């Protein structure tokens, strides 16, 4: 759905519905609502007085304008109490009202907003409207053939602006559209079934991203991995007919010669568990085990579209984890690309194996820092719940900045400790490390394992096993793939660029 800016007065906008946002429990109407109420002969005031609509967060109420203004309907949407207003409430409210209008088979709407409701966050307010509307309307439909004519779709939202605000709005909407496009792109990659999102196909999508200015694409195939000795990645791939790929996207938007930031994303296009097979129930969800990889590709895409002044290298080790005749067996020992040996106690702890080799490869770029993003452990979901990203690592500054960025984007991040005792738990009796330390502190021992492959570079690990997928759906994250960390990392990168 497109978002545009229109100059003019809200009363003259020709549209199927004009959206007016209200704060809860306010006796006086302000701004456009005041004018609308006057034109409607007090109707809006009556609706509020009667209690039929009070402006609770994400409450929606439709009234017909019946010629009092040019728009056919007025869609009232609640923002909750003015004192409690924040960006999440705005995103959620716009998701709710847009979904409601789509349900009525409305194709286009307009809104007029008092962006000074959050005076010190005006630009973010505008972005939040775009995010709520576009992310809330996301639907994944390419495989529907029955009844697909009935799929409802919103095509346009116009934001009515004062002439003085026009250029700020255009600018912010453009940026937010790039970012939300990237989130939806990640969601598409993740939602695709594993038979149609193999490592090779994922690589093709990355190659398309690389058509952008300043983006370069490289692919390491199985032969190259063998020459380099990436036996951890190759080991995981050995049970599958699909050849593994190490996808590399470089973006040069910063100064020439500036060390890049490395983003490494887990790209398991399907994780059956391998010989340590997962239970059948919900195994289908393991097509999403490339969510970290999808996020990395999407972030590079948006960074290029936003022309961020930063150098980035994105690395996505991509493979299936299957149980074919060549598959890893519990007890196997692999010599990783770093030279360190790994005893594979559980073939379902495959993410850390492929990441080990990709992290070692990332170090060759001599990056300023490394951030990895992975649906790494069920233990992280047990510890923090389905909504929360687990954060661990050695880069105190980046962790602090990511935490702060998350408070803006509404993604929930919580740090777990990475003390030396956890490294003791991953020592193997006969190899250097073992890939599973059992049930205790599973999210942390997984991160401790990764820490062995980042040299001494500043590094942050984000475990997104919980929030990468939602079975219930949330305000502006419809059921399914969330695209989590795409907005978070872009916010973090934008803040970093501002400082420099
Ligand atoms: N991809 C899974 C982790 C996962 C679980 C992601 C649930 C999303 C939802 C990962 O490869 C895995 O299987 N981890 C094991 C590790 C264990 C064997 C040490 C786990 O968490 O059970
Ligand atoms: Mn696994
Ligand atoms: Zn996995």
Q: Which domains does the chain have, with CATH numbers?
A: 2-162 (3.40.220.10), 182-499 (3.40.630.10)
Q: What is the 8-class DSSP label of residue 278?
A: P
Strands 341-343 and 333-335: antiparallel
Query: 314-352, pLDDT tens digit by residue?
Result: 999 999 999 999 999 999 999 999 999 999 999 999 999
pLDDT in tens, 138-151: 999 999 999 888 89
The per-residue pLDDT of the chain, averaged, comes to 96
Checking if the pLDDT of 196 tops 90, the result is yes
- Among protein residues, the one with the nearest Cα to ligand 1's atom 22 is 378
For the entire predicted model, the pTM comes to 0.98
Percent of the chain with pLDDT over 70: 100
* Ligand 1 lined by 484 (C-beta under 6 Å): no
Q: Which residue has the CA at smallest separation from atom 8 of ligand 1?
A: 465
The catalytic residue among 123, 174, 278, 335 is 278
pLDDT at residue number 163: 86
For residue 167, how many C-alpha atoms fall within 13 Å in the half-sphere facing its CB? 1
pLDDT in tens, 437-478: 999 999 999 999 999 999 999 999 999 999 999 999 999 999
Q: Does ligand 1 lie within 6 Å of residue 99's CB atom?
A: no
Residue 379 beta carbon below 6 angstroms from any ligand 1 atom: yes
Query: According to the 3-state scheme, what is the secondary structure of 393-458?
Result: ECCHHHHHHHHHHHHHHCCEEEECCCCHHHHHHCECCCCCEECCCCCCCHHHHHHHHHHCCCCCCC
> Which residue in the block uniquely carries the two structure tokens 């080799």?
357
Q: Ligand 2: distance of its center to the CA of 231 in Å?
A: 17
Q: Which of 352, 399, 452, 487 is catalytic?
A: 352
278: annotated active-site residue: yes
Ligand 1 contact, 480 CB (< 6 A): no
> Quick one: pLDDT band at residue 500, thresholds 50, 70, 90?
low
């Amino acid at each position: 759905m497109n978002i545009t800016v229109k100059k003019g007065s809200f009363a003259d906008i020709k549209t199927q519905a004009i959206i007016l946002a209200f704060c809860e429990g306010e006796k006086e109407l302000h701004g456009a609502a005041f004018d609308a109420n006057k034109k409607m002969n007090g109707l809006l005031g009556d609706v509020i007085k009667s209690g039929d609509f009070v402006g609770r967060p994400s409450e929606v109420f439709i009234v017909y304008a019946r010629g009092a203004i040019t728009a056919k309907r007025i869609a009232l949407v609640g923002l909750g109490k003015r004192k409690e207003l924040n960006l999440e409430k705005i995103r959620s409210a716009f998701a709710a009202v847009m979904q409601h209008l789509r349900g009525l088979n409305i194709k286009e709407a307009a809104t007029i907003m008092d962006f000074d409701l959050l005076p010190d966050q005006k630009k973010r307010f505008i972005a939040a409207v775009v995010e709520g509307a576009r992310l809330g309307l996301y639907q994944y439909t390419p495989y529907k053939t029955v009844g697909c004519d009935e799929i409802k779709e919103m095509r346009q939202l116009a934001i009515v602006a004062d002439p003085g605000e026009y250029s700020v709005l255009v600018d912010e909407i453009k940026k937010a559209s790039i970012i939300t496009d990237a989130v939806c792109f990640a969601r598409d990659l993740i939602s695709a079934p594993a038979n149609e999102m193999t490592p090779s196909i994922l690589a093709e999508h990355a190659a398309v991203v690389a058509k952008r200015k300043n983006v370069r694409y490289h692919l390491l195939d199985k032969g190259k991995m063998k020459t380099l000795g990436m036996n951890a990645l190759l080991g995981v791939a050995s049970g599958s007919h699909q050849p593994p790929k190490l996808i590399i996207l470089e973006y040069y938007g910063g100064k020439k010669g500036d060390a890049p930031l490395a983003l490494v994303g887990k790209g398991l296009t399907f994780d059956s568990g391998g010989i340590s097979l997962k239970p059948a129930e919900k195994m289908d969800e393991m097509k999403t085990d490339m969510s970290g990889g999808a996020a990395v590709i999407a972030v590079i895409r948006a960074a290029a579209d936003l022309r961020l002044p930063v150098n980035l290298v994105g690395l996505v080790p991509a493979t299936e984890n299957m149980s074919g005749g060549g598959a890893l067996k519990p007890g196997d020992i692999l010599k990783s690309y770093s030279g360190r040996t790994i005893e594979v106690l559980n073939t379902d702890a495959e993410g850390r194996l492929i990441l080990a080799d990709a992290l070692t490869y990332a170090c060759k770029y001599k990056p300023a820092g490394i951030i990895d993003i992975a649906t790494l452990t069920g233990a992280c979901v047990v510890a923090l719940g389905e909504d929360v990203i687990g954060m661990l690592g050695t880069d105190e500054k980046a962790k602090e900045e990511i935490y702060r960025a998350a408070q803006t984007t509404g993604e929930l991040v919580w740090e777990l400790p990475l003390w030396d005792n956890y490294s003791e738990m991953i020592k193997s009796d006969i190899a250097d490390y073992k890939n599973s330390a059992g049930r205790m502190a599973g999210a942390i021992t997984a991160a401790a394992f990764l820490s062995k492959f980042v040299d001494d570079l500043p590094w942050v690990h984000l475990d997104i096993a919980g929030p990468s997928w939602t079975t219930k759906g949330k305000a502006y994250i419809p059921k399914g793939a969330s695209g989590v960390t795409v907005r978070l990392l872009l916010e973090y990168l934008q803040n970093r660029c501002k400082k420099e």
